[in-house]
Amino acid sequence: MRLLLLILLAFALPAKAEQVVLGLSKEIVQISTDFDGSDILIFGAIKRETPIEAEPLQVIVSVAGPQQPVTVWRQARRFGIWVNAHAVEVDAAPSFYAIATSAPWAQVISETEDLRHKVSIPRAIRSVGAPMDVPDAQSFTEAVIRIRTGEGTYQLLENTVTVREQTLFDTAISMPANLTEGSYPTRIFLTRGGRVINTYETEIEVRKVGLERWLYVLSRQQPFVYGLMSLFIAIAAGWGASTAFRILRSQ
Amino acid sequence: MQVYLPIAEVSVNVFVLLGLGGLVGVLSGMFGVGGGFLMTPLLFFIGVPPAVAVATGANQIVASSVSGLMAHLKRRTVDLRMGTVLLIGGLIGAALGVVLFNYLKSLGQVDLLINLCYVVFLGIIGALMFIESLNALRKSRRGTPPKRKKHNWVHALPFKMRFRTSGLYISVIPPLLVGLAVGVLAAIMGVGGGFIMVPAMIYLLNMPTKVVIGTSLFQIIFVTGFTTMMHATTNYTVDVVLAVVLLVGGVLGAQAGTAIGMRLKAEQLRILLAGLVLLVCGKLALDLLLTPSELYVLSAAGSH
């Protein structure tokens, strides 16, 4: 039985003729008090046991933040003023999403492969239930992409992955300062002629450290103590400043 | 220099925050308003999420108000008795306001209501104060003393009480109602409510302007303190790092503001405050009336 498995495995391996070996400049992003965004260098090599094919190899790198539900409101003019009129609940949208490619989007991946692996930004957003009174639910998802692209939290970076000799690749993803804590799934796709031939997945950990971590945990686990502490600091600061000024003036 | 806010989860420039705190502190010291009506929208502009801005603003107002109140206590311009009556009304009102806020939240239009509240209240109060103080200024130039201590319906109510510092002998019902109304608005709009209480004290209760500011600061401290605790324990939206940076600017500004306030005449002070209130009101009204450049708004799910 074991022998049979080994044989099967031996036959299965050559099917994955080209594989990714990956390196990250950092696997943990630490959010400290002076955190101001972070650049992550993603680099790797392609391990292969067969000769290089003539068709050029393309690389796609995607980094996604934690999935969160989002409510999207569309405003409309009612009685002369602009109000939130229609809402669509987007079930899951990543808080951050960056894709870097080695060639223009249309050349690196086909529509079907994108659908299967959920690579592009619209595919990464999951929206199922739109209310009956909203016929154009698609435009709400588009709004999420438009707004977040404007903010810099969604990035499509075409032609930013450098591929050398079809073997080495590297790219840099810059993460903005307003990151959400969590693990960021990072995926690498190798494609040829729009077909995905190998994928690799890892995670980048984003977490608060030091004072940031301590305050965050306190505010969730001991909210009453946290509130009292905030009030105490406020009163002490107000009283301290007032006393300091009085002493300054009386001199 | 950037600082990362642990609860708001955004990174902002320290000097922008210090300047913002200072500006609001000056207003707090000059006019006896907490400045929340200005602080909250300004925090939105620099990218702080609205829920965090409202809760942290309340905490910051506590600090600048304590600082302002100390200065007023020294000059004996606080009517503690009146302040306590207003406070009782204020706490009841704040509790009612939270209930109302959560009800409107379940209806899904709480943002609109907050904006409308701002526009309506700031508009009415700003316009009334502006006209009144303009008239007073004109009269004081002509040399005729302004009429005070007129008897209106307020004096016909029962449960009278003597407020020595204010030199008033009136029923406790009007101050209780004023405190209550301010408490409700404080909880809904996330502000101290000084911009409503100060005119109410001057025009409705006929309190002397000098006492009004110290007394309103006294009430604001407790109402915003209560609001801070409510937000910290139910929504976890008080960002203490943001509050500390704001209040460093705020307490310095409040001292400067108190000094400026002492140099200006009461009518001039009121006309300045009226102008400021109208300016903020106009900005908010324009936002409601003009076609927004982005028709869609994102919010965290479950908050509508």
Q: What is the mean pLDDT of chain B?
A: 77
**Residue A14 confidence (pLDDT):** 46
3-state secondary structure of A89: strand
Domain ranges in chain B are 2-289
pLDDT band at B33 (very low <50, low <70, confident <90, very high): low
pLDDT band at A1 (very low <50, low <70, confident <90, very high): low
Chain A segment 94-153 residues within 8 A of B by beta carbon are 140, 143-144, 146-148
Q: Do B247 and A83 touch (CB under 8 A)?
A: no
What ipTM did this prediction achieve? 0.74
**Optimal mutation site among A230, A232, A249, interface B, most CBs of chain B within 10 A:** A230
B238 touches chain A (CB under 8 A): yes
Return the amino acid letter for B254.
A
Rounded to an integer, the average pLDDT of B44-67 is: 78
**Residue B34 confidence (pLDDT):** 63
Which residue did the predictor score with more confidence, A211 or B114? A211
Convert the pLDDT of each residue in B259-288 to its tens digit: 777 777 777 777 887 888 788 788 878 877
**Optimal mutation site among A70, A179, A231, A243, interface B, most CBs of chain B within 10 A:** A231
Q: Do A239 and B299 touch (CB under 8 A)?
A: no
pLDDT at residue B131 is higher than 80: yes
Q: Do A226 and B252 touch (CB under 8 A)?
A: no
Of B1, B74, B296, the CB nearest to A140: B296
pLDDT at residue A13 is higher than 60: no
Rounded to an integer, the average pLDDT of B65-70 is: 79
pLDDT at residue A76 is higher than 50: yes
pTM above 0.80, yes or no: no
Q: Which of A31-35, A177-181, B116-120, B263-267 has the lowest mean pLDDT?
A: B263-267
Comparing alpha-carbon positions, the chain B residue that sits nearest to A234 is B63
Cβ-Cβ contacts under 8 Å for A207 (sequence gap 6 or more): A28, A29, A30, A31, A181, A213
Rounded to an integer, the average pLDDT of B188-197 is: 74
Burial class (CB in 10 A: 0-12, 13-18, 19+), B269: buried
Residue % of chain B over a pLDDT of 70: 88
Chain A residues with CB inside 8 Å of B296's CB?
72-75, 140, 143-144, 146-147
Cβ-Cβ contacts under 8 Å for A143 (sequence gap 6 or more): A72, A74, B294, B295, B296, B298
Convert the pLDDT of each residue in B242-264 to its tens digit: 888 888 887 778 778 777 777 77
Q: How would you classify the pairing of strands A195-208 and A28-31? A: parallel
pLDDT at residue A10 is higher than 70: no
Q: Nearest CA to B93 among B218, B194, B188, B234?
A: B188
Q: Do A219 and B232 touch (CB under 8 A)?
A: yes
Convert the pLDDT of each residue in B12-23 to its tens digit: 888 888 888 888
Chain A segment 57-76 residues within 8 A of B by beta carbon are 68-75
Q: Which of A80-89, A193-202, B83-92, B292-301 has the lowest mean pLDDT?
A: B292-301
**Residue A3 confidence (pLDDT):** 58
Burial class (CB in 10 A: 0-12, 13-18, 19+), A34: exposed
**Residue A68 confidence (pLDDT):** 84
Which residue did the predictor score with more confidence, B165 or A199? A199
A219 touches chain B (CB under 8 A): yes
Q: Which of A123-132, B107-116, B151-160 has the lowest mean pLDDT?
A: B151-160
